[in-house]
Every structure is written in structure tokens, then in C-alpha cells.
Amino acid sequence: MDIDFNGRFLTRTPTGVDRFARETLRALDELLLLEPCLRAGRRFRLLVPPDVRGRMDLQVIDWAPVGRCRGPLWEQVELPWHARGRTLVSLCNAAPLVLRNQLVVIHDAATQRVPASFGRGFRVWYRVMIPWLYRRAQQVATVSEFSRADLQAVYGQRDEVLVLPEGTDHMSRIISDPAILQRHGLKARPFVLGVSSLTHHKNFRLIVDALPHLKDLDMDVVVAGMRNPAVFASATLPPQVKHVGYVSDGELKALLEHAACFVFPSLYEGYGLPPTEAMACGCPVISSNAASLPEVCGDAAAYFDPTDPLALAGELRQVLTDPLHRAQLKSKGLLRGASMLWTNTARGLLNTLQQPDS
């Protein structure tokens, strides 16, 4: 049984699911290199379309450009043709509808649970594609026990849904870029870090609503990522809120290393990688208690109701004013982050692909 991987994720600006795919493949390639017996005479290929952005540096998994089309047409028509007779693995939700001999990682049921976060075309396509893949693919995996239960609640029971938790050790490879601190004047006083997004369920507005309850604290609030005008339209923000825009991995790591804490107010997550990345960088985490986040963060985060700005303000106040509490969150976060390895993700995936009925 030879195995192909769907490389369409390499054609777009990386998101959380794309990070999952990239790091899982990198860890799998290293695992196959260090333990040749795992190859069992099989060939592994990463099939990529012509509009791929950059090449992954892989040593065992072959880099295989195929086809002439782009986007969904490549994925639905050309990819299954080139993967015929082999097992296809798609790590980012989308996969060819015509194939049965494939493993698909479906990260969550977000288009059903938080439809307002997605455009109409995307929502309609995913509401057709995801249930079809969930029922037809020979194997389905997801990233948390929460997502497994949620997929079954939304799309029905199936024999087995594999859980492949994510890792954080990619943060150790990233070189911190502290120039961003000087550029935005972030060295003068403590700052709280949040990541803004255009999607509704990321719930960044809650941080804005919590700020009036923290007027007496000497701090900045740093917003990394894309600014959503709708979030701020009805709010007059205090001057300590600083928008740093899109940041590179190195800049994000520097922000996490120097932030007083990281705030994650999301309403829905199949996994929630950002808070675990913060933990790996020694940044105390304050997280929503919704969806998968208590499962993913365990006892290494302080939690709040994502519909209650006063609850968030209370957690922020405690972290910012209690050094012992802050140190405990940092210590627990480092321990939890250190236990999350992409090698475990890759090994779990490979073990499933080696099952006789796969």
C-alpha cells in the first residue's frame, strides 16, 4: 500500500489547519527517516498542484507536482486521478469526493456550529462536502475528543474516528524576532496579547468589552493579525490598544515571550493551537471555557465564560496583579506544551494507515 498526501494546503496563506498538515508531514518524514522499518517497502508522495507556494524540505516523502488545474478543480478531478490505486491522505478537511480509499482529517463542524463565520459559497460547499466525506471515506480522523463527539452529533455515528492531537514543538524551531517590540513601543509596560480575526467565532470583541473594567491597570493590549472593522465600529478604544497587523512566526514568538499573558476568547474551536503555542513560549494563557479548549489546555490555563466580559476582566486582573498566579500558569503551560509533540501526531497517523483494513 503506497500513500499519497494531498498538498493543496501549500497553495494558500497558512491557517491553523495548514499548520497541522505541514507539521504532521514534517514529523512523519523525520519518523520514516529515523525508523526505516516503518516504510515497509512503501512509497510516500506529497502530490502538489502547479500553484504551490514554496517547497517543503522532505527527505523520505517524495515531492510530486501533478496536474495543470488549480484550486477545487485540481483537488476534485486531477488529484484523485493521480492517486488512483493508492491511499490518499487529506489533512485539511477538503478531499476528493469520488475516492473511498482515503483518510480525511476533518478538524471540526464549524460550518454547522458557527455558520456566520463563513461566506455563503464556502458554507454551502462545506455543507455538501464534509458530510459526504465523513460517511464515504474509508477512514476519518479529527484533532480532539470534543471534535470527535461533535462530528458524530452533527453528521451521525460511524465505526471509528481517530483523534490526532496537535503539537507545539514547532515553536522551538522558530527564531524569535524581538524587533517588533521596539517598533511598536512595547517595552515600556506590561501588555496583554490577543489575535484578531475576521471570523465571528473568534470573539475578539469580548476583549474590547472587558477593557472598561480594567481602566486602573497600567497595561497595553496588543492585537496581532487582521483587524475587523466590525469589531471596533461601536467602540471607542483607549490609547493603550495597539494594532500590530499581520506578524511573522518570529514576531509572534517574540510577542508571546514578552507578553504578560495571552488571551483566547474563542466561542468554537476543534482544537485551538494558539494557546498551546503560547504555553510553549512560556506565556500565561487565559482561555475561553468553550468547545475543545478545556480539553486542550487542561489545568495550564485560567478560564472564563466567552459571553461574559466581566469574567474575562477578572481573570486578566488576577494575572496582571498576582505574580505568583502568573508564574504558576507559566510553569504549568511550559510542562503541558512540552508534552505536545508532532511526532506523536505523525505516529498515530501512520499506525492507522498500517491497519490491515486500511
Task: In whole angstroms, give the CA distance from residue 105 to residue 101.
Answer: 14
For residue 102, give the H/E element and its range.
strand 102-105
Note the pLDDT tens digit of each residue in 177-234. 999 999 999 988 999 999 877 678 999 889 989 999 999 999 999 989 865 544 444 4
Q: Compute the residue count for the chain.
A: 358
Please write the tens of the pLDDT for every residue from 151-185. Answer: 999 999 998 999 999 999 999 999 999 999 999 99
Q: What is the pLDDT, as a whole number, of residue 356?
A: 54
pLDDT for 229 equals 46
pLDDT tens, per residue, the chain with 358 residues: 799 999 999 999 888 999 999 999 999 999 999 999 999 889 999 999 999 998 999 999 999 999 999 999 999 999 999 999 999 999 999 999 999 999 999 999 999 999 999 999 999 999 999 999 999 999 999 999 999 999 999 999 998 999 999 999 999 999 999 999 999 999 889 999 998 776 789 998 899 899 999 999 999 999 898 655 444 444 556 778 888 988 999 999 999 999 999 999 999 999 999 999 999 999 999 999 999 999 999 999 999 999 999 999 999 999 999 999 999 999 999 999 999 999 999 999 999 997 655 4
CATH fold label, 172-338 = Rossmann fold (3.40.50)
What is the CATH T-level fold of the domain 3-167+341-353, as seen in this structure?
A: Rossmann fold (3.40.50)
Q: In angstroms, how far is CA 172 from the centroid of its own chain?
A: 17
Q: CA end-to-end span of the chain, whole Å? A: 9
Give the separation between CA 3 and CA 87, rounded to whole angstroms.
5
For helices 273-280 and 16-34, the axis angle rounded to 10 degrees is 60
> Residue 93 — left, alpha, or beta (φ > 0 → left; ψ -120 to 50 → alpha)?
left
Predicted pLDDT of residue 10: 97
**What is the domain partition of the chain in residue ranges?**
3-167+341-353, 172-338
Of the candidates 160, 8, 19, 159, the residue with the CA atom closest to the CA atom of residue 80: 8
Nearest by Cα to 320 from 176, 193, 183: 193
Partner residues linked to 241 by β-bridges = 221
Cα dihedral across residues 145, 147, 151, 153: positive or negative = positive
Separation in Å, CA 271 to CA 8, 176, 221, 291? 21, 25, 25, 8
Contact criterion met (CB below 8 Å) for 346 and 31: yes
- Element holding 209 (H helix, E strand): helix 205-210
Q: Which pLDDT does position 358 carry in this prediction? A: 47
**104 contacts 140 by C-beta, under 8 angstroms:** yes
Same fold, 3-167+341-353 and 172-338: yes
Cell of 264: 483566547
CB-count exposure of residue 236 (10 Å: 0-12, 13-18, 19+):
exposed
* Phi, psi (deg, nearest 5) at residue 276: -75, -30
Residue 208 to residues 7, 28, 217, 295: CA-CA distances in angstroms? 38, 41, 15, 26
> pTM of the predicted model, to two decimals?
0.94
d(CA 191, CA 200): 24
| Residue 83 φ/ψ, nearest 5 degrees | -95, 5
CB-based contacts of 86: which residues, under 8 Å, 6+ apart?
1, 2, 3, 4, 45, 101
Largest CA distance in the chain: 65
- pLDDT (0 to 100) of residue 226: 63
